[in-house]
Amino acid sequence: MSGGLRVWQASGGAGGREVVVLEGPRFGWDMEKERETLQAWKERVGQELDRVMAFWMDHSHDQEHGGFFTCLGRDGRVYDDLKYVWLQGRQVWMYCHLYRKFERFRRPELLDSAKAGGEFLLRSARVAPPGKKCAFVLTRDGRPVKVQRTIFSECFYTMAMNELWRVTGEAHYQIEAVEMMDQIVHWVREDPSGLGRPQLPGAPASEPMAVPMMLLNLVEQLGESDEELAGNYAELGDWCAQRILQHVQRDGQAVLENVSEDGEELPGCLGRHQNPGHALEAGWFLLRHAIRKGDPELRAHVVDKFLLLPFRSGWDPDHGGLFYFQDADGLCPTQLEWAMKLWWPHCEAMIAFLMGYSDSGDPALLQLFYQVAEYTFRQFRDPEYGEWFGYLNREGKVVLTIKGGPFKGCFHVPRCLAMCEEMLGALLSRLPPVRAPRAGSPPAAPAPRGTE
């Protein structure tokens, strides 16, 4: 860990939390260079966030029915008007979050579009009201096309409603969020039959990591600055964290995407399946949970097992970038896209390493942030039309030129950029002030060439 000076800072959780002040033997020698690099990246991600949001605001709004078009070509043209409920919820959440957190996004048109999207979800997302099950796909005017037997449309519906309540103060949004949250918890912990997925006799009883991950994210979302709800969901948050930690298998040497319900490795391809980007996303979810709880042992464990371990195995040594899928035994994965480089794992890695560095001060984590960020900006960013490409081949060449579709919308890229801008700003604020040279002191000698 860092040799930086640690101080205690009050936080919303119990007691205080340890914060690293970036000075001392490992930092002081190159403080100005570090400040310049952090400042440059803060400006870079902030400018990119503005470009990305301009793309979605210019091209995705459905002025007739509300909600958003997400099937957008490279230049923003709509190639399909189907609406995917999880992407509708994500975009409502993203607009509201930016409106709430960033002064420059506190614009009426952003909030109006978010409210129109929220009202579209209220009218159309649920397949058979008053039942809570949401569609996966809707027609442009809100008629259900397809249902998935999972919880993810409902999770992003919940996030959207809670964030709408935070920016509007309108209670009906929060009522929707809490009621849907209760239904999701019931499906996950008590009775999944309402999802419509039969338990077939030959299918192993497995738990994908995505389920406790999403629940933990909802616990953090609904509990933010709400002591009553945070208390109500405290036990659930701890349960989610423990379920995620069960995915560390093989004596701590692998994070597996699927395990049995009692936390054991499953046989076959299902059990060996790994998703490095998902492990990294789970890492920053867990790290945020551990920071809030003031648990230094969990924080260190998360960095080791959910940040460093999946990065070491998942980073392509030949071409750079994170493999999409891997097999824990080194066998060839069966998924056709396993060696592709997708946008969202790299977004999650940027968040994870910057959050890890912000918490620990370990410069190795900052260097990994720079490594991932440089690759990501170089390979995914579209300088001509804005936004990012989502799908590259192993060598980093664009395979699909679309900017949005059934799985890519206004979420992972702007969430990453917004969180990184905030964390970089916080890091810069923690650096000690620039010291003016003493009168009469000679200027510092330039470093010899090649020692930078």
| SS3 labels along 20-83 | EECCCCCCHHHHHHHHHHHHHHHHHHHHHHHHHHHHHHHHCECCCCCCECCEECCCCCEEECCE
Confidence of residue 8 (pLDDT cuts 50, 70, 90): very low
Q: Among 204-208, 256-260, 329-333, which is the least confidently predicted range?
A: 204-208
pLDDT score for 433: 80
Confidence of residue 324 (pLDDT cuts 50, 70, 90): very high
Confidence of residue 130 (pLDDT cuts 50, 70, 90): very high
Query: How far is it, in rounded angstroms, from Cα 431 to Cα 392?
Result: 37
The per-residue pLDDT for range 214-266, each reduced to its tens digit, is 999 999 999 999 999 999 999 999 999 999 999 999 999 999 999 999 999 99
pLDDT score for 96: 98
The per-residue pLDDT for range 154-168, each reduced to its tens digit, is 999 999 999 999 999
Q: Where are the beta strands (DSSP E) in 300-440?
A: 326-327, 341-342, 391-392, 398-400
pLDDT score for 437: 55
| pLDDT of residue 15 exceeding 50 | no
* Tokens coding 380: 């995914």
Q: Which residues pair with 259 in a beta bridge?
A: 207, 265
* Tokens coding 403: 């900017």
Q: Which residues pair with 6 in a beta bridge?
A: 20
pLDDT score for 448: 39
Average pLDDT over all residues of the chain: 91
Could you give the count of Cα atoms lying within 13 Å of 34 in the half-sphere of its Cβ?
21
Contacts 24+ apart (CB under 8 A), 113-116: 113/57, 113/61, 113/68, 114/164, 114/167, 115/164, 115/168, 116/61, 116/66, 116/67
Share of the chain above pLDDT 70, in %: 90
| pLDDT of residue 133 exceeding 70 | yes
The per-residue pLDDT for range 169-195, each reduced to its tens digit, is 999 999 999 999 999 999 999 999 999
Confidence of residue 315 (pLDDT cuts 50, 70, 90): very high
Query: How far is it, in rounded angstroms, from Cα 108 to Cα 114?
Result: 10
| pLDDT of residue 290 exceeding 70 | yes
Confidence of residue 127 (pLDDT cuts 50, 70, 90): very high
pTM for this structure?
0.91
The per-residue pLDDT for range 436-447, each reduced to its tens digit, is 555 554 444 334
| pLDDT of residue 13 exceeding 60 | no
| pLDDT of residue 449 exceeding 80 | no
pLDDT score for 199: 85
pLDDT score for 31: 84
The per-residue pLDDT for range 48-62, each reduced to its tens digit, is 999 999 999 999 999
Confidence of residue 279 (pLDDT cuts 50, 70, 90): very high
Share of the chain above pLDDT 90, in %: 87
